[in-house]
Amino acid sequence: MLDTSLMLVELSVMEQRYQAVSLVVHDGESVVEVARRFGVSRQTVHAWLARYEAGGLAALADRSHRPKGCAHQMPAAVEALVLEMRRMHSHWGPRRLRHELERDGVEPLPSLSGIYRLLKRHDQIDPGARRRRDRKFKRWERGTPMELWQMDIVGGFLLADGTELKCLTGIDDHSRFIVCAGLMRRANARSVCGHFAEAMRIHGVPQEILTDNGKVFTGRFGRNHTEVLFDRICRENGIDHLLTAPRSPTTTGKIERWHRTLRERFLMGKVFTSQADAQQQLDAWVAHYNHERPHDALDMATPASRFSAPTAPSRPSDTTALETTDRSGDDWVARRVSAVGVVCVAWQQISVGKHRAGRLVDIQVGEQILHIWDGHELLKTVLRDNTKEVRKKRASVAR
């Protein structure tokens, strides 16, 4: 026979709490003794007493540990607004959605990660859509506007009669401002250079132009190595014409990326009645792109705000600072521009523009940099050629 008096009875959590409360309320034991007996803190016993007084025996049951609220949880109204924006603009990512919410004055403003998780919960993120960037690619950007323009030719502008128009496109490397978007029926030298000259008339002359090796841009790789009209315009205006390496479209990555935006946001499914109609619609879309559309690479600023923003140091301030500089020192030389717009200094030939032929220019010769001035105007700053062969020639002349 088993002695039932020695059998252990396992009490539930609620029964143990009630027993602790009963010892304090009915038996008059102190809270400290009850807390020591049940292995809990005095604050826990006081909490049980308060719950028992407020709700009786049922209040001693386990409660959910879920918090009443979450400080960073997105309100339902904001979630609905984000999903509606995404539905209307399927190409908007978390950064653009957050920017639009901020412009609309939505409070509280959700975080980028919160918007991403929301889109992922509602199957609005395609995991295979984002392409992983090659580790060999290096991002680069010029420091000020008008230092470098990237230019290229793109097609895909269809007319109702079946004609496909070409477009000369140009983008400022620093600001992503579209400086040229001119349509033409044939991408020949006259049409391309006409749009190029019009872009310089409107926005000014850049320091450098970067293009691919197309025949309309350069004749350096032809049989006779002739100078094409585009190269001639660059030379006469003192523009350094840079070329990409063969089969290297990533060098002109900014203009190529804009071509993708142009196809997806403007050309998709469009057929134009005439070239004039296509040019008018393209100009309106480019104006919206430059002045209204925020750009991810510019921290959601518009290209126009960065293209027209003052830069430091700027050429006017440099000019003012050198107006009173003595140019009679040993590091200053004077050279007359040749008939083809070239000056020769320190065994280097530097183009300053054929229109300056016959003018006398001042050149500040530093150890690594050459500054070329025409009066109080800084024409160009170039790196000094310090190759071994050039150093030997300088040494022989010095001897």
- Residues 205, 285: one domain? yes
Structure tokens at 389: 């062969």
Alpha helices, DSSP H, located in 204-346: 229-236, 253-262, 275-291, 303-307, 315-322
Give the domain-ending residue among 103, 121, 139: 121
Is 242 a domain residue? yes
- Say if residue 56's pLDDT is above 50: yes
User: In terms of pLDDT, which residue wins out, 392 or 220?
Assistant: 220
Mean pLDDT confidence for 83-100: 88
- Residues 26, 42: one domain? yes
- Residues 272, 353: one domain? no
Mean pLDDT, all residues of the chain: 83
- Say if residue 94's pLDDT is above 60: yes
Residue of 48, 277, 327, 278 whose CA lies nearest to 154: 278
Mean pLDDT confidence for 123-141: 70
* 281-323 pLDDT, tens digit each: 999 999 999 999 898 888 888 999 989 854 433 333 343 333 4
- Indicate the burial class of 254 (C-beta count within 10 angstroms; 0-12, 13-18, 19 or more): buried
For the chain, where are the E strands, in sequence order? 148-158, 164-172, 178-184, 208-211, 240-243, 332-336, 342-345, 348-351, 360-365, 369-374, 377-383
Give the domain-ending residue among 307, 336, 369: 307
- Residues 288, 160: one domain? yes
- Residues 326, 386: one domain? yes
- Say if residue 55's pLDDT is above 60: yes
Give residue 10's pLDDT band: very low, low, confident or very high (50, 70, 90): low
Is 6 a domain residue? no
Longest dimension (CA), the chain: 128
Mean pLDDT confidence for 342-360: 83
Q: Are 210 and 149 in contact (CB under 8 A)?
A: yes
**Which CATH number do you get for residue 95?**
1.10.10
Residue of 257, 280, 197 whose CA lies nearest to 232: 197
- Residues 222, 238: one domain? yes
Give the domain-ending residue among 307, 328, 351: 307
Is 373 a domain residue? yes
- Residues 291, 224: one domain? yes
pLDDT of residue 392: 60
- Say if residue 348's pLDDT is above 70: yes
Is 68 a domain residue? no
CA distance 32 to 25: 13
Is 36 a domain residue? yes
Burial of 326-351, coded b for 16+ CB within 10 Å and e otherwise, reads: eeeeeeeeebebbeebbbebbeeebb
- Residues 164, 274: one domain? yes
- Residues 285, 220: one domain? yes
Give residue 130's pLDDT band: very low, low, confident or very high (50, 70, 90): low
**Which CATH number do you get for residue 215?**
3.30.420.10
- Residues 228, 110: one domain? no
User: In terms of pLDDT, which residue wins out, 131 or 296?
Assistant: 296
Highest-confidence segment of 128-142, 312-326, 327-341: 327-341
Other C-beta atoms closer than 10 Å to the C-beta of 251 total: 16
List the single range of 30-39, 42-51, 360-369 with lowest mean pLDDT: 360-369
- Say if residue 74's pLDDT is above 60: yes
pLDDT of residue 284: 95
pLDDT of residue 290: 94
Q: Which amino acid is at 98?
A: R
**Residue 145: partners with Cβ closer than 8 Å, 6 or more residues away:** 172, 174, 175, 177, 306, 307, 308, 309, 311
* 244-260 pLDDT, tens digit each: 888 777 788 899 999 99
Structure tokens at 110: 């959700």
Cα atoms in the Cβ-side hemisphere of radius 13 Å centred on 268: 7
Is 55 a domain residue? yes
Residue-number span of the structural domain to which 204 is assigned: 148-307
Give residue 368's pLDDT band: very low, low, confident or very high (50, 70, 90): confident
The angle at the Cα of 244, spanning 242 to 245, to the nearest 5 degrees, equals 135
Is 128 a domain residue? no
> What does pTM read for this prediction?
0.59
- Residues 162, 268: one domain? yes
Is 281 a domain residue? yes
- Residues 169, 282: one domain? yes
Give the total number of structural domains in the chain.
Answer: 4
- Say if residue 133's pLDDT is above 70: no
